[in-house]
């Protein structure tokens, strides 16, 4: 059995050597005229390659199929930034992380649960805006009633209205002054590169204010527990271990999740 395997291996190496020798001798034989090696010119190879149309314009004044695919891939890669920077997701997720730090539960609830709940709350809050985008931009574009550029402009309108409604005037005026933008007549005249950073700054300010209000009662519980342990002479026991059950109990008895979600949803109306 072993000898037969050795013979097979030897034959394989021999075949490999012969084939490599033939490949090496082909150019020399072709140069000597003994063999005719087929040659391919550049036009023939170019004809075999698939043709891709990258032109912009046409009868419908629209982008070509390749440009449309490129724009779609770009929008999908920009999806996380779109969700976190132009919707209510920023305020919700920052408040949730403040809540977990105030409770002192470290990894409970886990990040996946908090992010999932924040995403579904974002969908619930942004549903009127998404419906307006669907009616004004997506459906007319699907029915070939407008071009891609017109659809993008129409889709940006409801988003700008939502963000400006939640933005402080000071933040908006600050970025308008930075780009030397004069007073505009309507919200549609504001560019996105001015609306988005001002909206994010306002959202972070509101989220930190809510986080402070959430963190304050839990800090009071920690101080009370630490003072009691110190008065009893128990200095080697971390106060966090003792205050954690009391903080969870207070949060559950006050129906904290309901109050927190209700207040955040109503804050966007």
SS3 63: strand
Q: What is the pLDDT along the chain (269 residues), one digit of tens a residue?
A: 444 444 443 344 344 443 444 333 334 444 444 444 444 444 443 444 444 444 444 444 455 667 767 777 777 777 777 778 888 899 999 999 999 888 888 788 888 999 999 999 999 998 999 898 888 888 888 888 888 778 888 888 888 888 988 898 888 888 888 888 777 777 777 888 888 889 999 999 999 999 999 988 888 888 888 888 888 887 777 777 888 888 898 888 988 899 999 988 988 86
Total of domains in the chain? 1
d(CA 211, CA 94): 8
> pTM of this prediction?
0.67
Q: How far apart are CA 269 and CA 117, in angstroms?
A: 19
- Is residue 106 a part of any domain in this protein? yes
CB of 244 closer than 8 Å to CB of 105: yes
CA-CA distance, 220 to 105, in Å (whole number)?
16
Q: Scanning the structure block, which residue is given the tokens 């128990």? A: 234
Q: Is the residue at 72 inside a domain? A: no
Q: Give bridge partners of residue 56 from the DSSP assignment.
A: 63
Task: Tell me if 169 is assigned to some domain.
Answer: yes
In a domain, 165, yes or no: yes
Tokens of 5: 């395997």
Domain containing 108: what range? 87-180+192-214+255-267
């Amino acid at each position: 059995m072993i000898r037969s395997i050795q013979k097979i291996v030897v034959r394989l190496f021999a075949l490999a050597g012969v084939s490599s020798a033939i490949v090496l001798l082909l150019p020399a034989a072709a140069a000597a005229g003994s063999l005719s090696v087929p040659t391919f010119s550049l036009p023939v190879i170019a004809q075999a390659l698939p043709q891709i149309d990258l032109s912009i314009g046409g009868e419908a004044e629209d982008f070509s199929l390749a440009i449309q695919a490129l724009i779609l891939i770009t929008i999908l890669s920009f999806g996380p930034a779109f969700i976190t920077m132009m919707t209510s997701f920023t305020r919700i997720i920052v408040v949730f992380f403040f809540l977990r730090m105030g409770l002192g539960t470290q990894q409970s609830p886990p990040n996946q649960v908090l992010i999932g709940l924040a995403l579904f709350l974002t969908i619930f809050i942004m549903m009127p805006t998404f419906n307006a985008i669907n009616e004004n931009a997506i459906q007319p574009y699907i029915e070939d009633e407008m071009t891609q550029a017109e659809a993008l402009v129409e889709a940006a309108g409801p988003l700008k209205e939502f963000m400006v409604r939640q933005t402080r005037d000071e933040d908006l005026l600050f970025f308008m002054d930075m780009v030397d933008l004069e007073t505009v007549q309507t919200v549609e005249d504001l560019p996105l590169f001015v609306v988005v950073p001002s909206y994010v700054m306002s959202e972070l300010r509101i989220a930190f204010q809510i986080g402070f209000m959430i963190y304050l009662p839990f800090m009071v519980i920690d101080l009370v527990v630490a003072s009691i342990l110190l008065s009893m002479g128990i200095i080697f026991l971390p106060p966090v271990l003792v205050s954690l059950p009391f903080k969870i109990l207070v949060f559950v008895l006050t129906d904290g999740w309901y109050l927190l979600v209700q207040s955040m949803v109503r804050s966007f109306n």
